[in-house]
Chains A and B, each alone.
Chain A
Amino acid sequence: MATPSIAVARPAPSRFPRPGGARAFVERLRSGDEIAHLITLIFASTILFLTAWLVYELWVHSALPRQTFGLGFLTASTWDPVFEHFGALPFIYGTVVTSALGLLIAVPIGVGAAIFLAELAPHGISEALTFSIELLAAVPSVIIGLLGIFVLVPILRKVVEPFLKATLGFLPFFQGPAFGIGFLAAGLILAIMVVPFIISISRGILLAVPTEQREAALALGATKWESTWKVVVPYARTGIMGSVFLALARALGETMAVTMVIGNDPKISASLFAPGYTIAAAIANEFTEATGDLHLQALIELGLVLFFLTILINAFGRILILVTTRKGTSRE
């Protein structure tokens, strides 16, 4: 998404008076209003229809594995196209681990940057920095992946992972051979990709906190940081959470950059250095090479799982943002 816009759904009062009665209806029909209404209504309904169609197609084309494996599809951990055993657990695990890692890195940096842009930076600088951060959101994911394999992975393999192993090697997360590619690389790449979202949405929400809140805290003798951290941020908390959920949904569905650095190995390992696989990466890699109907449909069922996961998280995040922007009214 190039523009991380906050969707604030407002009730839409009709902007035109609409006289009732049969004669008025005929009049409107003659003047073309009803026709224009109908045409735009058809296009608007197309959106609902398309979404329903999307769900239908995913559902119908994943019938085979649903009958064969049932819910066991989600909990089985072997993925073997040759013997037609399909279990999605390694992919779900990889998706969750990489997204969690990405958020763990991105949230502190994103919220910190949003605080700087909303509370500290002078207007001009804030606008310029926000502009470049939104450009970062527009960089195609395949390009981030390109830099991932040729720049990030060698650095991880030669510098970061040996260092982590030497210092924190007693933890199970930092053991095993340093491949470079793997969960850690994917997590870092995802952090880079979701940080612009968190920054730009959180900044908007912080800007919507009424100035009185800050003034009251400062008047009570709070330092600038205390007023920000103990008053402004808690006020905006729900909305910031919303931005984190939107970022999570994006991280879960991110495909190309992750596919290029995760190593594509359907294994569950505690070590972040180990190669893994995500749902989206599995679909991207195996779809064109699927060996049979069951394999192809298992991949489509993976898509269905991903679809519901992201839809749920998105819906939740949007509701959170909706609630805060309604509450914070300084902009209106």
Chain B
Amino acid sequence: MSPRLVWRKSVSVMMLSLTGVCALAGVSVLLFILGYLLWYGGKYINWDFVTQLPKPVGETGGGMANAIVGSAKLLLLAALTGVPVGFFGGVYLSEFGGKTFAFLVRYTTDLLNGVPSIVMGIFAYTVVVLPMRHFSTLAGGLALGVMMIPIAVRSTEEFLRAIPTALREGALALGASKWKTIVKVVIPAAAGGIVTGIMLDLARVAGETAPLIFTSFNNRFWSSGWNQPIASLPVMIYTYALGPYDDWHRQAWAAGLILLLLVLAANIVARTVLARRSTAREM
């Protein structure tokens, strides 16, 4: 081999191994985050943490039961506002949409997806908090709900589109009307995928903090109603991490671990289901 070729080959090997190092770096960051939280947060999770209210400032102990319930309530509200719009919007794009209007809706959805979460928070603030004159669970739920719409639309549309046209034609040929075909044939066939997509969507907004800090705010006690401020896990982590007490820091780690495990578990389940479905379709 000429020296030139040896040089070219060694450059090739070197650069290709560098790309491998890059990939490893990406994965190791995830493993580091997970490992560190398990190690650090795991120590501070106990029964009190999930069943008790936060202790008065300065006292050690206590838990974040209100924040866990609060997050669940906010997600429920988010799903109630975001999922219907996302689902029916997706059905429209896949089954009814024409050319121009559907393109407009699709493109707007993608842009909405890129709107920073903090801007969604401002929106919910001006629409709900300003007129009501106080922070509320409703405002937080609305902010998260609007954030859910884009992914709900796009994933619903993708899964409906993946249903073969032959299935629709079969139903129509049997005399079913279009909407009956959609409701009884197309949607049931795509239901698994749609539900999984919405689960991923929920997991995504579950960790959002920015739109909540000035909509649902925070609360050291149980929230007394939907129009009152409410605690949530991400906001608690933020407040406690920046707080001056060591005990708060420990609780922030524990809350971080719980949040991370919930989000990752939802992601792993959903993505495994999706991967199985797509390989099944290929075969």
Contact = CB atoms under 8 A, between A and B. Distances in A.
Interface of A: 1-3, 5, 7, 9, 11-12, 14-16, 28, 31-33, 35-37, 39-48, 50-51, 53-54, 57-58, 60-61, 108-113, 115-117, 119-121, 127, 129, 131-136, 138-147, 149-151, 192, 195-196, 199, 223-226, 228-229, 246, 249-250, 252-256, 260, 280, 283-284, 287-288, 299-300, 303, 306-307, 310-311, 314-315, 318
B123 interface: yes
Contacts of B106: 7, 9
Given A16-B172, A256-B238, A260-B238, A120 B16 contact: yes
Contact of B23 (A41, A43, A113, A283): A113
B84 A43 contact: yes
Contacts of A110: 22, 26
Contacts of A115: 19
5 closest cross-chain pairs (CB), A and B? A140-B207, A253-B116, A112-B22, A43-B88, A225-B12
B96 A41 contact: yes
Contacts of B118: 253, 255, 280, 283-284, 303, 306
Interface of B: 8-9, 11-13, 15-16, 18-23, 25-27, 29-31, 33, 36-37, 84-85, 87-89, 91-99, 101-123, 125-127, 130, 146, 149, 151, 153-155, 165, 168, 172, 177-180, 182, 200-201, 203-204, 206-210, 213-214, 217, 234, 237-238, 241-242, 249, 252-253, 256, 259-260, 263-264, 267-268, 271, 275
Given A44-B88, A225-B16, A318-B110, A50 B209 contact: no
Nearest to A40: B92
A115 B31 CA distance: 21
Nearest to B97: A12
Contacts of A32: 177, 179-180
Given A141-B207, A145-B238, A287-B121, 14 more contacts: A2-B203, A11-B99, A40-B91, A40-B92, A44-B101, A47-B105, A54-B146, A57-B127, A109-B25, A131-B271, A143-B237, A150-B241, A256-B234, A287-B122
Contact of A7 (B88, B154, B168): B154
A1 B267 CA distance: 12
Residue from A31, A47, A141, A256 with most neighbouring chain B CB atoms (10 Å):
A47
Interface on chain A toward B: helix, strand, loop, or mixed SS?
helix
Contacts of B260: 139-140, 143
A109 B200 CA distance: 26
A126 to B, nearest CB: 9
6 contacts: A12-B98, A28-B178, A32-B177, A40-B95, A44-B97, A229-B15
A296 B140 CA distance: 19
A135 B102 contact: no
A133 B30 contact: yes
Contacts of B249: 150
Given A40-B89, A57-B127, A300-B126, A138 B238 contact: no
Given A57-B127, A143-B256, A31 B178 contact: yes
A33 B183 CA distance: 11
A254 B85 CA distance: 25
B178 A224 contact: no
B114 A311 contact: yes
B251 to A, nearest CB: 11
B252 to A, nearest CB: 6
A73 to B, nearest CB: 16
A129 B114 CA distance: 25
